[in-house]
Amino acid sequence: MGYRVEPTFVVRVAGMPLSALARLRCGRTAALVDRVLDAERWLDDQRESLSKMLHGAIGGNGDVAMRRRLIVLRRAVYHAKPPRTGVLGADLIDRLPRETAGAVDAWQRRMCERDKLLNEARAALGEESVSGRRALRDLASHVRLQQGLVLASRDLYLGLAKWSPDEPDPRVERKLAKYVARMAAKTSPFSTFTGSFPGRWHPEAPDPDAPIESGRIGIAELNAFTQRQIERTLAGWPEIRAHLPLEVNSSLTEDGDALRFLGQPGGEAVVELPRTATVRRFLDQVRHGDDRTFRGVVDALAAQDGRGRTAEIATFLNKLIDLGAVHIGFGVSESDPDPLGRLARELERFDGERVATVRGGLRSLRAELDAYGSLEDPDERLECSRAIGAELRKIYAHLGWAGTAMEFPKNVFYEDVLLTGAEQVQSPQRWHDVLDGLDVVRRLAGLYDRFLPGKLAAEAFFAGRYGSGASVGFLDFYGAFCQETARSSGADLLRCYEQALPVPQPGDDRLAELARMQERLVALVAAQPVDADGCRGPSRAALRAFLGELPAFVEPIASLACYVQPIANPGGSPRGVLNELMTGFGRSRARLLRLGATAAGTFTPGEGDWRVGGRHAVEITGTFASNLNRRPPVTPFEISYPSVPSERPEDRRIPLADLRVVHDAERRTLRLFSVRHGIEILPVHLGVMVEFLLPGAYRFLLQMFGQAVPRFEFVKQLAFAADGGAADGVRRYPRLVLGDLTVNRASWTVAAREVPRRSRDGAMLDYLIDVNRWRRRHGIPQRCFVRVLTRHGGPAQRSRTKGLFDKTRKPLYLDFSSEILLRAFEETTMNTDQMLVFEEMLPGPDELVLHDGEGGYAGEFVIELGDGRDD
C-alpha cells in the first residue's frame, strides 16, 4: 500500500433518526398519485392508435350528427379528458367497428378509474395533510431539535408554543420541516444538530456496524470575534496596559535603513519605517529589556533618556503599537481550551474597581456558558441563552461599547456536541477497496490543486524579478507580489492567483499542460460506458496509468481528509460515498480534541512530526476571530503570525521574519525554509475557515507553499464529464464510482424555471401530480436532495463571499411524497431563477451503519490518508 491511513478518524452523526422523515410522507396519497400517473401513461400510450381508429370511423360515417360526436370524442381521447355529456353513449359504440368499440370502452373505463383515483387522492391528501402536520408537531417536540432551535432559530422555537397542527401555518411548517430534515438527513459541521465522537482502525474489529451508545456533552463557546474585541479594549485601559507584555512583530525585518513588517493600518499591509536610532532603541528594549511590559519599557527608555520625557516616550511606543511594529496583549493563546476563563484569571493581576467589575462579568458569562451545554430542557436553555446575552450586554456597558459602533453579535455563542462513551472500530482490511479508491482520488486531486495555477505563475514572476536560484525573505516576496498584482502589468499573475478553474493560460507552458491534462482526465472518464445500474466507473488501472503521465509539478495532495458516508453491505465489504474533501494533517481530529478532555485521553493527534517529502508541516494557530478555527496545537512547530499570541516554547515558534523563499531552478518551483531551524516548511491550515477569508499574508503562505482541494470543482468536473441523456432541459449524470467507493451520486441538473410550478390558486394535489409526473419522466428518485447552484445567479450571488454564506446553496432533503417537504421545495423554486441540482439519496434508509434503539442515523467518517511520512 503506497499510502498511509491515519490510525484514528472522526465520526459525525445526525441528531435524529432518519426514519423520523418517513412520518412526513403522505403514503396513501403518494400511492394513489402513482396509480393516477400509471393511468395517465396508459391513456397517453393509447392516444395515437385510438385517435387513428376514430379518424377512420369519422371518415366512413355519413351521419353528420354521429360524425360530430366522433370528432368530439377523438379530441377528448387526444387530450385525455372526459367528453362532454351526451357524446359517448351506447348508440355510438354500437355503430363502431368491433375493435374500435373495444378500444373506446377500455379507454372509457380507464378514464373513470383515473377520475375515481383522483377523488380518492383528494380525500387522502386532506386526511394526510392533517396527520402530517401532527407528525411534524410531534417531531418538533424532540428535545434535541428544540435544543438546536434555541440557537439556530429562536423565533421559530418560540413560535412552536403558539402553533397548532389543527390550524395550518405554511410558513412555520416549511421552516420547521427544513430543520427536521437537516437534523435527520445531514451532518452539519459544527452545531447542536450533529454529534461527533472518535473512531479507530483495528485489524480485528468485532462488529462493523456497532450501535451508538453514548452520552452527550454540549460545549458552548463565546463568539471568538467578541472575545478578541474585549481583549483589545481592555488592553487600552491605562491600569491594565501599563502591565501588559510587549512583543516585536514576528514579521519585522531590518534591511539597510528600513524596517519592514506586516502592519495594521487599513487592515493588513506591508509597512516600511525608517530604521532610525530611536526606533532601534525602542525595539531593542522590547526584545531584550529586563521588564518587557509597557511600563517597564517606557521607564527603562526614560531612564536612558534622562530628560523627563516619559509621556513622549509612551506616546511614541503607542504609535509603534498602532502601526503593528510592536504588539501588546494578555498573551492568552487562542488555542487555550478555556480562553474566557483564562482571560478572567489574567485580570486578577490588575487592580481597580472597573477591572474587578469586568472580571466578575467574564466569570459570570463563563459560568452561564458552562451551564448551557449541560442543560437538557430547551426552555431552561432559552433562559440560559438570554442570561448569556444579558451578561455580555453588561460587559459591553462596562467597556463603554453601549451606544457605539460596536454592534452586538448576531451569534453571541456557538455550541458543539461531543458524544461520550461511543467509539467506532473498523477493520482497514475490510475497508481496503474504499481506501484504495480514496487514494486514487487523493492523487488525482493534485491535478486540481486550487493553489497550483498561482504557484506556477508566481514562480515565473519570482525568477524574472530576482533571478533563477535566488533567495529572498518571505515578507520581501509577499510585498513585491502585492505591488505587482496591484498594477495592470500584474493582471495575469493576479488571475492565476485568484482563479483555479478554468486554468488561466497567460502563456506559461506549464499552465497550458495543466489544462491539457485536466481535459484528458475528463475525456478518460467520459469515455467510460454507463453500466446497467446507472454507474460510470473508470478502471483504476487506466487512472493509475494516467497518473504516471502527470508532469512533475503536479503532486498528490500530501494529506487528505475524506468525508465518507458508510453504506451497510451485509455479508460483503463496506461501501462508502464521498461527501467532501479537505486537506488533512489532523484538522478534523484536532477539532474533536478541543471538544472535551474525555476523548483526549485515548484520542490524540498523529504521533511524532508531520514530515512529508522532506518538508515539515507547520500550522498557524490563530483563530482570526472565527470559532471555526478554534483547536489545540497539532504540529510540533508553528509559524508565529503577527498579533497571534502563543504559549509554545520559543524554539517551536518560527517567526515570519525567519522564513526565506528559495527558487529551485532545477524543479522550477519555490520552496520555503526556516533559516533558524534549517528545515523546509509546508504551511498547513488546520482551521475550518475557507482560505480566501484568511488574512492576506496567511493566505499567501498557503497558496504559494501549501495545497488546497477544490472538491466541488474537481469531482463535479469528472462527474459531469458526459451526461447520460437530456430531455426538456433536464440533464442526467450517472453515479461515478471507483469500486466500492461512490465518488459522486447520480444527479440531475435543470433550470428552476423548468420545474413545474403551482399557479397562485392551484390545488396542492394538482401540484403533487405535476411534480411527480415530471420527476418520473426524468427518473429522479422520490427521495433525494436538491440545492441551488448559486454561480448561475446574478453578480451578487456569484460573489465568492456572498455565495459562501447564501443559505440556498445548502442541500435540501426532498421527498416527493411529502406535502410539507414539497411546500419547502416549492418555496425554493419560486425564489430563484438559477440552476437546480438533484442528487440521489445515498445511503438510503435501509443502508445506514450507525444506529441505536431509536433507529438508523445518517453519519459520516472523516478519514485522513496521505503520502507515507518520512522516517
Domains by residue range for the chain, with CATH: 28-124 (no CATH), 245-328 (3.90.930), 426-561+568-709 (no CATH)
CB 838 within 8 A of CB 748: yes
pLDDT at 422 over 90: no
What φ, ψ does residue 626 adopt, rounded to 5°? -130, 130
Pick from 152-156, 165-169, 557-561: least confident: 165-169
- What is the tens place of the pLDDT at every residue in 278-302? 999 999 999 999 999 999 999 999 9
Question: What b/e sequence results for 48-59 when a residue is b if at least 16 CB atoms lie within 10 Å of its CB, and e otherwise?
Answer: eebeebbeebbe
Q: Which of 318, 316, 314 is nearest to 295 (CA)?
A: 314
Average pLDDT value for residue range 825-851: 92
Q: At what angle do helices 474-485 and 491-498 cross, to 10 degrees?
A: 110
Average pLDDT value for residue range 617-633: 90
Q: Is 519 left (phi over 0), alpha (psi -120 to 50) or beta?
A: alpha
Task: Compute the distance between CA of residue 683 and CA of residue 672 in angstroms, rounded to an integer.
Answer: 9
Amino acid letter for position 446: G
Query: At which residue does the C-alpha cell 511600563 appear?
Result: 295
E strands present in 193-347? 194-201, 215-222, 246-248, 253-255, 258-263, 269-274, 326-328
Amino acid letter for position 302: A
Average pLDDT value for residue range 685-702: 92
C-alpha cell at 51: 385517435
Question: CA–CA distance from 604 to each of 7, 517, 593, 616 (Å)?
Answer: 10, 39, 7, 19
Pick from 515-519, 683-687, 714-718: least confident: 714-718
Residues whose CB falls within 8 Å of the CB of residue 674, separated by 6 or more in sequence, listed in order: 637, 654, 658, 659, 660, 681
Residues whose CB falls within 8 Å of the CB of residue 199, separated by 6 or more in sequence, listed in order: 8, 9, 10, 11, 423, 424, 425, 426, 861
Place 190 in a pLDDT band, splitting at 50, 70 and 90.
Answer: low
C-alpha cell at 33: 398519485
- What is the tens place of the pLDDT at every residue in 526-535? 999 999 999 9
Average pLDDT value for residue range 757-781: 94
CB 184 within 8 A of CB 407: no
Task: Compute the distance between CA of residue 503 and CA of residue 497 in angstroms, rounded to an integer.
Answer: 11
pLDDT (0 to 100) of residue 62:
77
Amino acid letter for position 77: V
Q: Is 508 left (phi over 0), alpha (psi -120 to 50) or beta?
A: beta
Amino acid letter for position 366: R
Average pLDDT value for residue range 55-62: 82
C-alpha cell at 356: 474587578
Amino acid letter for position 347: L
CB 448 within 8 A of CB 710: yes
CB 702 within 8 A of CB 683: yes
Task: Compute the distance between CA of residue 274 and CA of residue 280 in angstroms, rounded to an integer.
Answer: 10
Question: What b/e sequence results for 612-632 when a residue is b if at least 16 CB atoms lie within 10 Å of its CB, and e otherwise?
Answer: beebbbbbbbbbbebbbbbbb
pLDDT at 777 over 50: yes
Task: Compute the distance between CA of residue 437 and CA of residue 428 in angstroms, rounded to an integer.
Answer: 13
Long-range contacts formed by 801-805: CB under 8 A, 24+ apart: 801/692, 801/693, 804/690, 804/693
3-state DSSP assignment of residue 301 = helix
3-state DSSP assignment of residue 247 = strand
pLDDT (0 to 100) of residue 333:
87
pLDDT (0 to 100) of residue 366:
96
Q: How many CB atoms lie within 10 A of CB 571?
A: 4
CB 731 within 8 A of CB 723: yes
CB 72 within 8 A of CB 84: yes
Task: Compute the distance between CA of residue 395 and CA of residue 400 in angstroms, rounded to an integer.
Answer: 9
Average pLDDT value for residue range 778-806: 66
Task: Compute the distance between CA of residue 341 and CA of residue 364 in angstroms, rounded to an integer.
Answer: 10
Q: How many CB atoms lie within 10 A of CB 328?
A: 23
- What is the tens place of the pLDDT at every residue in 301-347? 999 998 989 999 999 999 999 999 999 999 888 888 889 999 999 99
Residues whose CB falls within 8 Å of the CB of residue 664, separated by 6 or more in sequence, listed in order: 469, 670, 671
CB 733 within 8 A of CB 748: yes
pLDDT at 227 over 60: yes
Query: At which residue does the C-alpha cell 522590547 appear?
Result: 286
CB 67 within 8 A of CB 58: yes
Question: CA–CA distance from 665 to each of 460, 466, 479, 674 (Å)?
Answer: 11, 12, 22, 19
Place 183 in a pLDDT band, splitting at 50, 70 and 90.
Answer: very high
Amino acid letter for position 538: P
Residues whose CB falls within 8 Å of the CB of residue 509, separated by 6 or more in sequence, listed in order: none
Place 606 in a pLDDT band, splitting at 50, 70 and 90.
Answer: very low
CB 158 within 8 A of CB 379: no
First to last CA, the chain: 17
Q: Which of 76, 68, 72 is nearest to 115 (CA)?
A: 76
CB 743 within 8 A of CB 719: yes
pLDDT (0 to 100) of residue 596:
64
pLDDT at 793 over 80: no
Place 189 in a pLDDT band, splitting at 50, 70 and 90.
Answer: low
Place 869 in a pLDDT band, splitting at 50, 70 and 90.
Answer: low
Task: Compute the distance between CA of residue 629 and CA of residue 622 in angstroms, rounded to an integer.
Answer: 7
pLDDT (0 to 100) of residue 795:
40
CB 218 within 8 A of CB 372: yes
Residues whose CB falls within 8 Å of the CB of residue 780, separated by 6 or more in sequence, listed in order: 748, 816, 838
CA angle (411 as vertex; 21, 403 as ends), nearest 5: 150
pTM reported for the whole predicted model: 0.92
C-alpha cell at 71: 370528432
C-alpha cell at 803: 455565495
